[in-house]
Amino acid sequence: MKITIARDAGYCFGVRDAVNLAYETAEERGDVYMLGDIVHNERVVEDLAEAGTKVVESLDEIPDDRPVLFRAHGTAENVWEAAKEKDIDIVDATCPLVQEIHDEVEKLSTDGRQASALRKMKRAGVVSQSTQTIENLQAIINILMTKVFDLHFINTICFPTKRNQEQIKELAAESDVMIIIGSFTSANSKRLTELAVEINPSTYQVTCADEIEPGWFDEAEKVGVSAGASTPDYLIDEVHEKLKAHSPVTEEVF
Query: What pLDDT shows up at residue 254?
Result: 46
pLDDT tens-place string over residues 28-56: 988 899 988 888 889 998 999 999 999 99
Mean pLDDT computed over 136-162 = 84
Domain boundary among 67, 94, 121: 94
Note whether 223 and 195 are same-domain residues.
yes
Instruction: Please enumerate in sequence order all residues whose Cβ is within 8 A of that of 138, keeping only pairs 6 or more positions apart, or say none.
Output: none
Per the structure, the count of domains in the chain is 3
C-alpha gyration radius of the chain: 21
Note whether 163 and 249 are same-domain residues.
yes
Of 56-60, 92-96, 161-165, 201-205, the range with the highest mean pLDDT is 201-205
The residue type at 114: Q
Using alpha carbons, list the distances in angstroms from residue 5 to 108, 180, 204, 213, 253.
Answer: 39, 10, 14, 18, 6
Domain that holds residue 217: 2-11+159-253
